[in-house]
Amino acid sequence: MKSAVGKVVSNKMQKSVVVAVERLTQHPLYPKFLKKTSKFMAHDENNDCNIGDQVRITPSRPLSKRKTWVVSEIIRREHIFEAPSPGSQTTAAAAAASSSSTEASKQPEAAQETAK
């Protein structure tokens, strides 16, 4: 067997990931190409893979009942965005609040200058 390239769809297990591999097949009767997806469980020794990463998997000896593939390389990493905690202000919100307060303090000064 040869290696396959797919996307990590689950990494909730220790040292294991589920990789979805897509391929195009042509319908036997109608001239249309269809996307088929196969899911493979693969061994990730260092727990390096995250959901959305594009990885290359290669076949190996059976490591468990369903796990016969090993992650050989991470081709492209997916950016992970963490949600801010609900109690803290974000830096953008804090910057906007401080800039609006400085603009409000400048407006009375401008009004006084025009009145003179």
Query: What are the sequence ranges of the domains in the chain?
Result: 1-40
Mean pLDDT of the chain: 85
Query: 5: which strand partners?
Result: 56
Q: What is the DSSP letter of 31?
A: S
Per-residue tokens: 49 = 């893979």
Which CATH number is 1-40 given? Answer: 2.40.50.140
Other CB atoms within 10 Å distance of the CB of residue 48: 14
pLDDT range class, residue 11, cuts 50, 70, 90: very high
The answer to whether the beta carbons of residues 59 and 1 sit under 8 Å apart is yes
Q: Which pTM does this prediction carry?
A: 0.67
Residue-wise pLDDT tens digits, 52-109: 999 999 999 999 999 999 999 999 998 877 777 777 665 555 556 556 555 555 565 6
